[in-house]
Amino acid sequence: MYIDRQEIVEELRLRKLIRKAIKIVETKRHKEADQYLAEEQRLRKVIRNLIMEDEVGDTEDSPYDNTGLNTLNTLFDNILKTIETGYKELASSEQQRNSFASHILKAVENVLAPLSAMDQADQSLSEEIEIQLGQDRPEDMADIRKDKEEQAVEDFGIEGEDLTGRDKAYETFNKVETQIVDAYKSLYNAADVKAFYDGLLMNLDLYFKKFEDEIQPSVEAPETAADVQPEPDVEDTDLADIADL
């Protein structure tokens, strides 16, 4: 069988071009793979940094132009989860949760009241002693039959409020009291103190409302047979009746 020399040359040339094309494609694929790997590593680094930031906290370093509010913002990062857990554990009734919220708000006012009085008042030691002695009354004496813990819980309570909510609020407040007091005592500027104090009470109240909304069921109850109205019989309905539907 005769093979044309020119055909052989063309065949060799074609094979050479094919090998060269394959090499170019492979080189391009490797380059794209390297670029993809570099991009993946860069993305991993960004995600890792975001995760680390999220673990530290989602609060910016200085989101407000007031030191009191910035201090309050950091405080909420530290105590809000504890308060939310205590509130949402009271799943039996809204009355328990309302009692919890009332006791926490009142406890914050009570624990900060002496500190606030020291900031605003300038009284002598003798005046303070005289006032304290003048306020002592027999009915204010503690029942010696109760231990200190029982007496503390009773003093913590608000008359008429649910006792389960009171006890859970007492337990929860003991976990966050020191942090609240320390944050308040770190402020000396009157405007900072006021912003912190007012913001603390206002935001706590708003958070309790938010927690309650999250607890309430969001799915409507299914219709029962009694709720479903029968469809009208179109064949027995005249035009005037249809207009009224």
What the block records as the tokens of 195 is: 């912003």
Average pLDDT over residues 94-113: 96
Tens digit of each residue's pLDDT (9 = 90 or more) over 167-207: 999 999 999 999 999 999 999 999 999 999 999 999 999 99
d(CA 77, CA 98): 23
Domain boundaries, the chain: 11-51, 63-133+144-215
Is the full-model pTM beyond 0.85?
Answer: no
Contact 209, 105 (CB under 8 A): no
Tell which residue, 199, 203, 195, 149, has the closest CA to residue 174.
149
For a pLDDT cut of 90, what percent of the chain falls above it?
A: 44
Cα 70 vs. chain centroid, distance in angstroms? 16
Average pLDDT over residues 40-61: 58
| pLDDT, averaged across the chain | 77
Tell which residue, 113, 123, 128, has the closest CA to residue 193.
113
Tens digit of each residue's pLDDT (9 = 90 or more) over 13-35: 777 778 777 877 777 777 777 77
Tens digit of each residue's pLDDT (9 = 90 or more) over 128-150: 444 444 555 555 555 555 678 88
What the block records as the tokens of 103 is: 């006791």
Contacts of 162 (CB under 8 A, 6+ apart): 93, 95, 96, 98, 99
Mapping DSSP to helix (H, G, I), strand (E, B) and coil, where does residue 219 land? coil
